[in-house]
């Protein structure tokens, strides 16, 4: 379990490095540790990468551009940016329904993982 003081130190370290987000990861043998992400575009890829690593999972996501104390007070902080919807060109319309199904499945999976972490 990570203490609030340790989270504050990690949060401030990420701000000084000009990172945008901080992931709190947990491993079987190391314990909790921070991962700093510079851009929101790389955030989901990093969350997936660490969740797919054996015996490692992302416990929390902190937005380093938002208020520190508010996020630290939350029981579980999961500050993922909203997904931006972009209108695809007509060329991609045929693949679009397939991609929507895959995205829908991945969103449901992320929600399930998030709810499991809260329990």
Does an H or E element contain 33, and which? strand 31-37
Whole-number pLDDT of residue 80: 87
39 plus 10 within the same structural domain: yes
**50-76 confidence digits (pLDDT tens):** 888 888 889 999 999 999 999 999 988
Check whether residue 56 and residue 77 sit in a common domain.
yes
Same domain, 30 and 68: yes
pTM of the predicted structure, to 2 decimals: 0.68
C-alpha to C-alpha distance for 70 and 94, rounded to whole angstroms: 44
Domain identity same for 75 and 91: no
pLDDT score for 92: 46
- Domain span at 99: 85-119
pLDDT of residue 109: 67
Residues of the chain with pLDDT under 50: 85-86, 88-94
The whole-number pLDDT of residue 31 equals: 86
């Amino acid at each position: 379990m990570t203490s609030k003081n340790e989270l504050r130190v990690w949060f401030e370290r990420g701000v000084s490095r000009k990172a945008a987000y901080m992931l709190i990861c947990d491993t079987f043998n190391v314990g909790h540790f921070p991962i700093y992400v510079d851009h929101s575009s790389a955030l989901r890829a990093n969350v997936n990468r660490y969740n797919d690593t054996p015996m490692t999972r992302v416990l929390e996501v902190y937005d380093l551009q938002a208020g520190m104390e508010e996020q630290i007070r939350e029981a579980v902080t999961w500050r993922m940016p909203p997904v931006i919807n972009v209108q695809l060109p007509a060329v991609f319309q045929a693949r679009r329904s397939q991609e929507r199904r895959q995205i829908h499945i991945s969103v449901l999976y992320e929600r399930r993982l998030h709810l499991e972490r809260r329990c």
